[in-house]
Structure 1
Amino acid sequence: MVTGRRPGLDVRSAVAAYRLTGDADAVHRLAALAAPFFQPAAPDPTAWMVRLHDRLPGTPVVAATGGEPAHVPEWSVPNREMHVCCEDPAYLPLFALRYLRTLDRAEAVRRGALPVHGAAVGARGRGLVLVGNKRAGKTTAALSLVRSFGGVFVSNDDVLLWHRDRRWTATGGPRSIGIRLSSLPDHVPPLTAATLAEAARAHPGSASTPDKRFLLPNEAVDLGCEVRANLTVDAVVELRCDPAVVPNLRRLTGVDAVALLDRYREPAADRRRPELLAALGDPPVTEAVAALAGDVACYQFVHPPHGWVSRFTAEISALALPPAPGPNEVNR
């Protein structure tokens, strides 16, 4: 594998700098996928070099699976170099984006970020982190809140929380938004399959997954969402699906709030690429959820499988949250 610094496109996240190199089209597509979480920046001698290759060097390390082609990731932590190889031009920037995200999340956790399995949105002047198990309705709830109230979308599935002076900030990342077609009737306002297909055009996985569409964060704009890299957190809301209940929202405090947050605290910076994380030193998650429980309001919303989203958006709109310890300028 060829190494060494090469001309390319320089970008920076909230925590680190990167130089993207390789085929010009692939590099610019990667930069577009990474926005607005990675912004163009001046060259930095400490930057990681992320090199995109369109030829596989021998046997693929990561075999073709789930409709995705084979690819090869190689890295040198001492040299701060990441090489991603894939012969499919549609997938090459996407694979590179995944490894770029892992590099960045590891650095964020090293600096004290708390990784949480949840979505982050701003609506009605409130910054919300939505947590819940798989199929609890996080994506449906997040998009419905943002589209209903002209809000801000930050993250769909994994969010980083930062603690500064009793205020918490949620930082998102460029991860695709997987939307099940079976969930569309529950979206508020209505979201049709045709409208979703028109917006979700860039992710190649949409073509090979008949029951799901993958929306990239920068494509959410076409659904009426404003995408931002961060927002101030006012509340954490757990979504739970129970076929036997009427939709209801309740406040959690004390040990119940701590237990809720502990359920969705990620044990590591990235649960999908453990080999790379190990090479990076597997930085430990040190921030405690007890501090978060003391600074933000925690709620649980239990709902049946269908027909609950209008009630949810109304409950969130009516919340009388305690005032933040400072101006909350980035939430809508």
Structure 2
Amino acid sequence: MAAVVDLDVVRSYLEVVEAAAPASFRSTTALPGPDGAGEAADDNQEPLHVEKAFAEQGVSLQEMLAQAPDAALPGALARIAVEEHRVKEHLKKLKFNYLELQTKLHFLESVIAVSPGSEPSAVGPSEEAAAELELEVAHAKRDLKRVKEETAERLQRLEAVSAEVASSYAEYVAEYEQCRAMVLDLHARLQKRRAQETLQTHTAATEALRAEHQQLAGEIASLEWEQRPLQGNIRDLEDDIERLRKQSQADVTRHDNDTDTSAARMAAWYTSMLALLEAACGIAVEHIAADALVLRVRNTANTTTYRFTLQLESTHLHVRQVVVDPPPAESAAWSTTALSPLLQQANALRDLGWLVRQLQHRLP
């Protein structure tokens, strides 16, 4: 199946080639029209050499492209792409040259103040202007000569001053090196003298320290001789300390065991006493909290059991309120007015047992 080629694309490509061609070649060429015929710029122009070659064969460009085999068409398109790239590069160069020429033209027009479309020779300077310009150039040359002479004179003076400064600097460097050597020598002699004075000053102290050191060495040797018999005693004391430590550990363990036994015995006794207290007095502890004490209390007739909840202060054992469940039938004896003096007296005495017994006697 033959590939379909857009003839407008080919025509655009030929237009680009014609635009990039030299002027002599473009004057004798023509662009192909949409129907394959050439569009001559004038009556004397001939078609492009591509269509001319096709016309000599009796075949149009469209027919040639339509009859091209599928295998040859990709190669032709590739060559067209390469040619198109080359033409684009050429157009870029032409555009750059055009911009460069236009820039130079505008620059020259601005220099000679030539208006667009006028001739440069028509606006040339007059003789008076040229004479005035020559006079100004002569004055400028004279001023330039004077400046050059002044510059040469100043340069000579500067060279003389530089030579004088260099000579003075050389003398200064020589004196500086001499003074530096003298200062270093003086510093070395001062250091040596100070070292000698320090050595003479510390000689007596050194001798005293040496004698003291020898005395201390003798005392250390004497103490070591005296400590030898004590080392055996130290080992015996360490053995005694270890034995006493083990013995005290055993005593502490035995005491802890005796304490646990005593505590268990006291707890059993306390439990039995609570049962005895409940049987004898009708009072039993049901719950103990940080701010409340709950008791089971039977009346004196031993017929009804009540629950007393003594609400305590969080900081000390003062009773704030007493709640009885179930409430007693005689409400007058259990009113706030009747219980307030009783609570105050119990808090003053710090005796909860007395308060509980008083409340028990008030039960119906």
Q: Shorter-chain TM-score category?
A: under 0.3
Taking structure 2 as the reference length, the TM-score comes to: 0.16
Higher RCO, 1 or 2 (CA under 8 Å, sep at least 6)? 1
Please identify the structure whose Cα radius of gyration is greater.
2
Taking structure 1 as the reference length, the TM-score comes to: 0.17
Higher helix share: 2
Higher strand share: 1
